[in-house]
Amino acid sequence: MQTLWNKGMEAAQAVEDFTVGNDREMDLRLAKYDVLGSKAHIAMLTKVGLLAAEEERTLQAELDNILGQIERGEFVLEDIAEDIHSQVEICLTRKLGDLGKKIHSGRSRNDQVLVDLKLYMRAELEAVRESVLQLFEKFQSLSQKHKDVILPGYTHGQIAMPSSFGLWFGAYAETLCDDMVMLGAAYRIVNQNPLGSAAGYGSSFPLDREMTTALLGFGDLSYNSIAAQMGRGKSERAMCAALASVASTLNKFAADCCLYMSSNYKFISFPDALTTGSSIMPHKKNPDVWEIMRAKTNRICSAESAVSQLTANLPHGYHRDFQMLKDILFPAIDATKECLTMCVFMLEHISVNETILEGNPSYDDMFTVEEVNKMVVNGIPFRDAYRQVGVAVAQGRFSYSGKRTVTGLGHTHQGSIGNLCNDKISQKMNRAARW
């Protein structure tokens, strides 16, 4: 295996196998970004006089060829290459000879992998943002469509007060606004250029780091070379925290769906093709999609803690421990995108029960607060009204005299079942999604 750090002595195979692990396979995700980082780097080297203009043109053309291979799915990590960085350099030197060896001037694998990872994370955060926006729009659409359908609200797992499908769907839409803020915060942490920090202590070459920052589209520069290297682990942790925020919203919605699909509730349903049956119980329609989503999102939420534990107690500077961050981060990214896509797909086929209250006296008690409020409006002190209704419930003679519809209940304040404020929530999301 060709290693960029090889000094002429071969490492024992057992040590190599243990330290490399499956890192080479995961590195393929970074191939595109490694080439893009190299293209910016050699443009800068030319500007500062470390490469001739003709040399740069030749290198840029060959890097474009490699980028084309990557985009066509033809690029491979050969057995002789330790990682993606050495593979790109192998390709260049194989085609261009000694010229290919010049691209590493003024950088280390430390800042090279950092810039690859930051470009990759930035792209993945942008992809997650688009998926969150799709789910947000679906929740908003369902909220508006079913805004007048009563849904029993629960606290402590017990019937509480009137809710609506509009309020329920809209709640998840607005919660995604908070998740978008978290994604934006992670994006700002990630969107800083570490290239030129080398192994963490800069370089004696007159590098123009502002130039590579502009060429790579970073929002800012990690100025201090040590601080740039300290971004390794911190960026992953910030991204995992943001993914966990999204996952926690999906987790709660999945749990709701498992509950609401059950035969004890029957609030929502899905086509048979989107549920699973039992090997012995022919009546079963199991919510396997939502149960798997619940499990996957719990695992996503654990990623931040795993990153924190892996990077705990490390002094500043690079440590090989960081290599294993990809084992945590990459699956969390994949699972988040997968769950967002599946949630949108399932919501395309959801049916809501518009007749939950019909012929079901078990939901009568959720109107007790409405009755108390009516009595207060008619001049009875709240505590007296509360006591009277409580006694009626205890004696089994409570009966709500008002209308059991969203419009009939007369809720008008912002964010109530009669005033969902979906337009305001859309404005909130538009602000949150502007990174």
Whether residue 329 has pLDDT greater than 70:
yes
Specify whether 95 is located in the same domain as 131: no
Q: How confident is the model at residue 77 (pLDDT cuts 50, 70, 90)?
A: confident
Q: Tell me, what's the pLDDT at 118?
A: 97
CA–CA gap between residue 285 and residue 275 (Å, rounded): 6
Does 210 reside within a domain? no
Specify whether 182 is located in the same domain as 276: yes
Whether residue 331 has pLDDT greater than 80:
yes
Specify whether 78 is located in the same domain as 98: yes
Specify whether 126 is located in the same domain as 25: no
Q: Tell me, what's the pLDDT at 6?
A: 60
Does 343 reside within a domain? yes
Q: Tell me, what's the pLDDT at 284?
A: 61
Last residue of one domain, picked from the residues 306, 335, 352: 352
> Domain range spanning residue 43?
13-104
Last residue of one domain, picked from the residues 305, 329, 352: 352
Whether residue 4 has pLDDT greater than 60:
no
Specify whether 96 is located in the same domain as 17: yes
Does 117 reside within a domain? yes
Does 319 reside within a domain? yes
Phi-psi category of 163—alpha, beta or left, where left has phi over 0 and alpha has psi -120 to 50? beta
Specify whether 55 is located in the same domain as 156: no
Q: How confident is the model at residue 402 (pLDDT cuts 50, 70, 90)?
A: confident
36, 76, 79, 81 from 87: Cα distances, Å: 14, 8, 9, 5
pLDDT single digits (tens) 160-193: 999 999 999 999 999 999 999 999 999 999 999 9
Nearest to 37, CA basis, from 126, 127, 118, 91: 118
Q: What percent of the chain has pLDDT over 70?
A: 93
Last residue of one domain, picked from the residues 314, 331, 352: 352
Does 409 reside within a domain? no
Q: How confident is the model at residue 79 (pLDDT cuts 50, 70, 90)?
A: confident
| 162, 370 Cβ separation under 8 angstroms | yes
Whether residue 226 has pLDDT greater than 90:
yes
pLDDT single digits (tens) 28-68: 899 999 999 999 999 999 999 999 999 999 999 999 999 99
Mean pLDDT (whole number) for 252-272: 94
- Please give the tally of structural domains in the chain: 2
Q: Tell me, what's the pLDDT at 67?
A: 96
Whether residue 13 has pLDDT greater than 80:
no
Q: What is the pTM of this model?
A: 0.91
Q: How confident is the model at residue 1 (pLDDT cuts 50, 70, 90)?
A: low
Q: Tell me, what's the pLDDT at 351?
A: 96
Specify whether 228 is located in the same domain as 308: yes
Q: How confident is the model at residue 286 (pLDDT cuts 50, 70, 90)?
A: confident
Q: Tell me, what's the pLDDT at 2?
A: 55
Lowest-confidence segment of 212-216, 225-229, 401-405, 422-426 by average pLDDT: 401-405
Q: Tell me, what's the pLDDT at 83?
A: 84
Q: Tell me, what's the pLDDT at 150?
A: 95
Lowest-confidence segment of 74-83, 92-101, 107-116 by average pLDDT: 74-83
Specify whether 347 is located in the same domain as 312: yes
User: What is the residue-averaged pLDDT of the chain?
Assistant: 92
Question: Residue 71: which CATH number?
Answer: 1.10.275.10
Q: Tell me, what's the pLDDT at 11?
A: 59
Mean pLDDT (whole number) for 253-257: 98
Does 200 reside within a domain? yes
Can you spell out the DSSP letters for 87-154? Answer: HHHHHHHHHHGGGGGGGGTT--HHHHHHHHHHHHHHHHHHHHHHHHHHHHHHHHHHHHHTTTSEEEEE
Does 188 reside within a domain? yes
Burial (0-12, 13-18, 19+ Cβ within 10 Å), 33: buried
Specify whether 121 is located in the same domain as 72: no
Helix (H) or strand (E) holding 424: helix 422-432
Specify whether 78 is located in the same domain as 137: no
Can you spell out the DSSP letters for 262-318? Answer: STTT--EE--GGGSB--SS-TT--B-HHHHHHHHHHHHHHHHHHHHHHHHTTPPSS-
Mean pLDDT (whole number) for 361-365: 88
Question: Residue 315: which CATH number?
Answer: 1.20.200.10
